[in-house]
Amino acid sequence: MNIIFLGAPGAGKGTQAEKVADAYQIPTVSTGNMIREALANGTEMGLKAKSFIEAGQLVPDEVVIGIIQERLAKDDCQNGFILDGFPRTIPQAEALDAMGVVMDKVVDIEVPDEAIMDRMIGRRVCPKCGSSFHIVTKKPQVEGICDRCGAELVQRKDDAPETVSDRLKVYHDQTEPLKDFYKKAGKLAEVDGIGSVTEITDRVMKALEENA
């Protein structure tokens, strides 16, 4: 099964994509990882991407799609794959269709903006060992101090209120329209993203089975 995961930043789609990948024994294909891999391997599309990156420009959709095609042609994707982080816009989805990449299901993890703000703004990470905490739902034993290594916890720039707000705006403006795009194609499965990881995974698996 070829699956796309949609959801706002902080909705937990990456975690759910990993769970489904394990259950279906198919790879999760991340756009960022693919570009890095194409650059490292010096593929035709990787070299094209490199020219834009070195010029400080965004990699154009047609180059990203080309890199995706190269990645999806590999043996481990022949029984299915999960796209996480792509497409982000309707033109990207249309380009994916035009390149002959056929998706079976699109899973949208639905989480209200207020809940996402609470999740991300409250997150604290350890700069030393990478452990993650939350000021409400996963408090460290000593406030502001990592349980694992004793380093002082920090709030990442990505989790600052203004950054989260900006990212949500971009999501609503550019990516959320994909829900209607894939709903019209009969491929969209919407899943409630509030609850424990296990509860949400159960909903995702049920949605995939019901819409299979």
- Rounded to 10°, the helix 44-54/61-72 angle is 150
Band of pLDDT at residue 127, cut at 50, 70 and 90: very high
Closest to 26 (Cα-Cα) out of 90, 97, 88, 79: 79
- 27-59, pLDDT tens digit by residue? 998 877 777 788 888 888 888 888 888 887 778
The answer to whether position 31 is within a domain reads: no
Catalytic sites, residue numbers: 13, 88, 123, 156, 167
Closest to 52 (Cα-Cα) out of 38, 68, 73: 38
pLDDT, mean of residues 122-146: 95
The answer to whether residues 107 and 207 touch, using CB atoms and an 8 Å cutoff, is: yes
Closest to 148 (Cα-Cα) out of 133, 136, 158: 133
The answer to whether position 156 is within a domain reads: yes
The answer to whether position 69 is within a domain reads: no
Question: Domain of 200?
Answer: 2-26+79-210
The tally of domains found in the chain comes to 1
- 89-109, pLDDT tens digit by residue? 999 999 889 888 899 999 999
The answer to whether position 157 is within a domain reads: yes
- Distance between CA atoms of residues 145 and 125, nearest Å: 10
The answer to whether position 71 is within a domain reads: no
Strand partners, 5: 84, 107
The answer to whether position 167 is within a domain reads: yes
pLDDT given for residue 211 in this prediction: 59
The answer to whether position 146 is within a domain reads: yes
- Distance between CA atoms of residues 8 and 29, nearest Å: 18
Residue 157: CATH number of its domain: 3.40.50.300
